[in-house]
Amino acid sequence: MRYRFLSDGRTAVSEIGFGVWSVATTWWGVKDAQTGIRLLREALDAGVTFYDTADVYGNGLGETMLADAFWKSGVPRDRLVIATKFGYDIYTHAGERGGHSELPQDFSAPFIRRACEESLRRLGADYIDIYQLHNPRMDALRSDEVLEALDQLKAQGKIRIGGVALGPDIGWFDEGMESLHREGIDAIQIIYSLLEQDPSSGFFPAAEQQNKSLIVRVPHASGLLDRSYSPEKHFSKSDHRSHRKEKWMAAGIAAIQILEFLEAGRRLSQAAIQFCLAQPSVKTVLPNFTSSEQIREFCAAADLPALSQEDLARIRRLWDEGLRDSLVQPLSDSKTKPAPAPAAKIS
């Protein structure tokens, strides 16, 4: 495993991180908490030190699983970098959300303070390394109240870095650019892969210029690039992958045949991760771990030779000359996808 420093110059994260949604929700198939805890520990043994969760994952289960997996087995807190998220009101609207459905959101200062305290309690920790707005719309990103609340939590030592996780789906370019230019937001989580290069490729120049850290999720395009998807598979409405259009999935399968040249000396799943890591502003990549085999396979990508400049140039050319057109899909933003109904405010 290799490690990269975040933009603060002090926090080192593993190039491969663990997105806890894959073991704390029903969206990806791991439904047994003990299996999830075992996978979390196996990832640590493989060198993974960055773990990304959210209060909404399993209504807090993702956070308590981290505490059960690590602190109860004696892992020092400072060995790991923990990121979690806030913004969905799980306290008055409990219940597992499926796919891309969303609970009411609250980005008021009282809610942020409460959410942080609850996350710290579930995590069994006295600080959070990266505290991220979860799928915020533009009004939340432009709110001075939000940034002041984060600054206060930093001053109290409860969080170290403020961040934003864009989503829940592909798009959010304007929101991403706003995040990259907001003081106090230093980490931005994006969707990016060989099959979904837009719009996130537009973030890289600004991230380097503004000295911001990017975290990539869905590097395997919902299973296409790790070959865990086939046209015969059908997903329930609660499964995160059910939002994918069959036409897009078919285009993705066709694109994989064009990208098979990347499998020289590596698996396509590993090349997909290396493609994301080719960007200096990308500090860590979050594949979906659901088995021990995937942990071994995906983590090995960090130790293989990087993709060559020739490979990267060929990928860029293929994207510009046809793959982009075949894989284009509607992009979401604050105008096309308004915020969920607001939650009741906490005083």
User: Catalytic residues, which ones?
Assistant: 57
| Distance in angstroms (rounded) separating the CA atoms of residues 307 and 187 | 25
* Residues in contact with 39: Cβ distance below 8 Å, sequence separation at least 6, in sequence order: 23, 30, 289, 290, 291, 292, 295
Q: Which two tokens stand for residue 197?
A: 């290069």
Tokens 């600080």, located at residue: 127
The answer to whether the beta carbons of residues 39 and 31 sit under 8 Å apart is no
Residue type, 111: F
Does residue 99 come out as left (phi exceeding 0), alpha (psi in the -120 to 50 range) or beta?
A: left
The answer to whether the beta carbons of residues 52 and 286 sit under 8 Å apart is yes
* Residues in contact with 207: Cβ distance below 8 Å, sequence separation at least 6, in sequence order: 180, 188, 213, 214, 281
| Distance in angstroms (rounded) separating the CA atoms of residues 149 and 75 | 30
The answer to whether the beta carbons of residues 60 and 132 sit under 8 Å apart is no
Tokens 């990266």, located at residue: 130
Question: How many CA atoms does the CB half-sphere of 5 hold within 13 Å?
Answer: 5
3-state helix/strand/coil string of 302-315? HHCCCCCHHHHHHH
Q: Which helix (H) or strand (E) holds 85?
A: strand 81-86
| Distance in angstroms (rounded) separating the CA atoms of residues 67 and 71 | 5
What is the DSSP code string of 262-289? GGTTS-HHHHHHHHHHTSTTEEEEE---
